[in-house]
Structure 1
Amino acid sequence: MIQPNYENGSIINLVSSVTQAMGNNSIHHKPLPFIESDFISSKKNVVFIVLDGLGYTFLKEQGNSFFSKHLVGNCTSVFPSTTATAITSFMTGMSPAQHAVTGWFVYLKELGTISAILPFKPRYGGEVFSKSDVYAKDIFKQSTIFENITRKSYTLSNDYIINSDYTKFYSKGSTSVAYKKENIENFVMNLMGIVQDTPGEKFIYAYWPTFDAIAHKNGIHSLNCKNHSQELAKALENFVYSISNTNSIVIITADHGLIDGEKDALIDIEHHPKLKDTLVMPLSGDPRAAYCYVRQGMAGVFEEYAKEHLSDVCSIYKSSELVENHFYGLDEPDPKLRDRIGDYVLIPKENYVIKDKVLGESPHQHTGHHGGLSEDEMYVPVIIIEP
């Protein structure tokens, strides 16, 4: 089990290193010890690329590549090691304890529902909350790194997510640029354009989600993932070459890694009706880190059943234990955190995942998973290139 190293070795510390170099005087965490902020600050163009799902373990297994050639180290993701939580940390510089985006599915007490937080809609589907006059600013309160640095900022997102409520809120303070979804050539072309055709010192935050999508569908150890990582490496190598002599630095990392699940490693809550009866609502969080909201007076029954029937395949924690032991961060938690992590957290062991379902929800099962505390999920690469 790998606990996030918020002291000096997580993606939040990486963000601190980068934003401190660009005038952020309100950083919340120490910089990474192996990155020189002065070196970053001397560069006209700071390009920060997040390759969703491209974990450190996966990268090391690929052998020599453009990425491994420029690998300077690794750091941990946050907990849970999932896109919604980690990307919010990237875009705010805050720990999950501070921003309280605690997984893919987040219980929003303000609305009395479990949300899919990135699409900004109910877990069961339907329309986005803003169609009912509930806006991102009503749910999210944090400032962004783009608002806190002194440079002009650009965010590069695909045309599918760029106008989402979540993306628009957490891109505040930047100029948003869209590229064609799943089109690596268009991604690189837009990066080149921002570096070469816009004046002055600038910070560019670019997000590529396709690797993660391929890993979810096919598995992290699939040929599809290997081929796409090679495609990414080649495209970004060409990008780096194209911006030679522009006084730039390119920093590449990921939000998390993944593991592959198996059909017989599924913990289905429907097969545990006694446990389900102790819950006041469906699970939230992620299949690798599930939040359980337990009925009043049923905590003893929940604990007894979980320890007897699930302890071989799940680690069982009181949510308060994880807060007190700094799994969500070193900071004073936002008051909303307690509402969003339930009473207990089930963290599946090995390659197990835990699932339930709600009406209207697709029963589709991914092959690749993340959110847990395994080495493969938690460690991400830190790649630094000076063109």
Structure 2
Amino acid sequence: MALPRDAVVPDYGDGGLYGLVASFRAYLQGRAWTPPSNGAARNEDANRSLVFLLVDGLGDTFLQRFGTGSTLLAHRTGHLTSVFPSTTASAVTTTLTGLAPAAHGLTGWFVHDRRFGGVLAPLPMLVRGNGPVEGLFPLQRLFPYQTLFQHRGRPASLIYPHYLAGSPFSRRHSRGARVAPYTGLDSMVDAIVRELQSFGTQSGYVHAYYPVFDALSHTHGCESSQVIARFQRIDASFSRLLERLQGCNCDIVVSADHGFIDSPPQQQVRLEDYPDAKRLLNTPLFGERRAAFFGLRPGAERDFKAFSDEVLHGKAVLSSSESLRQSGLLGPGKPHRKLAERTGTHVLLMEPGWTILDRLPDETEHAMLGVHGGLSPQEMWIPLICARC
């Protein structure tokens, strides 16, 4: 299938986030942890604890451009690809389950699921433009898979911001692990240290999630002064963490779920500006602004392709969703039984810097300068940072 220019294809082996999580799964089952990109296994101490700090949105391109002199860059050992789509809903779910997007079925911030009202956002559990998700056993039916922690051989702790720790999504995806909430960067460092100490003489796994970098990148842009300042605070916290964990016999891994690219207003395509094209769709857009899935009305494919060729040339690549599913971009594993519905009939893969969006009646639009979900190097490459204490 055709791809946007400079596209980075996700690596579902040792060169990607999926492979990194596979190494965490092996560790939780009792094996020594070895970075997946090291190739042949080394003779490691299986009694070392392991800390994984996921900084939402910290792309490798950003780290190398703005991280000069930072502790994080000093401990960078390489880079990995995100999954596709390169977005929180898809990638964070992979880090909590070990499943690729094809298998867990979260193919973007928005997914299409007729059982729960059409287009919905599974992380906040909201139907697009229509309030909370309702229905019989929605969590069990939306997230039918097991977590990474339900068949572990070591203790495991998840460290979440206090406002996310008790959310339905977090509760469902933390089964098998202890959840420790925190209220800021200093509190997060304290929680990591406290959870490691709680393991006593055992070795265990701590997964800490930090979302503020992502939120600031969306609002202010991925190279804004606000984002750079936040990175510096994160780096200072990482330095403090290393100091506090010296001699504790643990490995620390820092990475991300995706990177960022900016999409200014002049590079935003709004379907409301093209009502004739919008009428060809039988669903709203779902997935991501940088990788938009949708369903076309029967017989509308030729007309929509003409629209794409004329209006979206140089802005997006149109593909059938069947081609995308067969391409392997969504990763390995048994396909989720709703995968065909979650990917629609077609997908628009946006060129670097471009986004596409629509708006439903009574829907509050969220302005975003920084975006992700696509295949550009800025979105797909994430850092691999490793330290030993």
TM-score by length of 1: 0.94
- Residue 286 (structure 2) aligns with: 284
Q: Equivalent of 2:48, from 44, 47, 67?
A: 44
- Residue 60 (structure 1) aligns with: 64
Root mean square deviation, CA, Å: 1.8
Query: Structure 2: how far apart are the matches of 1:11 and 1:308?
Result: 37
- Residue 245 (structure 1) aligns with: 247
**Would you say the 8 A contact 1:275–1:306 is kept in 2?**
no
**Would you say the 8 A contact 1:105–1:117 is kept in 2?**
yes
Q: Equivalent of 1:275, from 274, 277, 280?
A: 277
The aligned runs of 1:210-359 (5 Å cut-off) are 210-359=212-361
Structure 2 runs not aligned, ≥5 long: 1-6
Letter of the aligned partner of 1:18 in structure 2? F
The aligned runs of 1:191-202 (5 Å cut-off) are 191-199=192-200, 200-202=202-204
Equivalent position SS for 1:9? coil
Question: Once the 2 structures are TM-superposed, how far is the Cα of residue 6 of structure 1 from its aligned partner?
Answer: 1.2
- Residue 97 (structure 2) aligns with: 92
Query: Structure 1: how far apart are the matches of 2:284 and 2:274?
Result: 13
**Would you say the 8 A contact 1:254–1:380 is kept in 2?**
yes
Query: Structure 1: how far apart are the matches of 2:133 and 2:242?
Result: 38
The aligned runs of 1:21-170 (5 Å cut-off) are 21-23=27-29, 32-34=36-38, 42-62=46-66, 63-129=68-134, 132-170=135-173
Structure 1 pair 334/135, CA: closer, same or farther in 2 (3 Å)? closer
Query: Structure 2: how far apart are the matches of 1:58 and 1:16?
Result: 25
Query: Structure 1: how far apart are the matches of 2:9 and 2:346?
Result: 17
- Residue 190 (structure 1) aligns with: 191
Equivalent position SS for 2:149? helix
Structure 1 pair 219/40, CA: closer, same or farther in 2 (3 Å)? farther
Letter of the aligned partner of 1:186 in structure 2? S
Query: Structure 1: how far apart are the matches of 2:39 and 2:378?
Result: 23
Larger deviation, residues 32-41 vs 61-70: 32-41
Equivalent position SS for 2:131? coil
Question: Once the 2 structures are TM-superposed, how far is the Cα of residue 260 of structure 1 from its aligned partner?
Answer: 1.1
Equivalent position SS for 2:37? coil
- Residue 4 (structure 2) aligns with: none
TM-score by length of 2: 0.93
**Would you say the 8 A contact 1:17–1:36 is kept in 2?**
no
**Would you say the 8 A contact 1:196–1:243 is kept in 2?**
no
Structure 1 runs not aligned, ≥5 long: none
**Would you say the 8 A contact 1:85–1:103 is kept in 2?**
yes
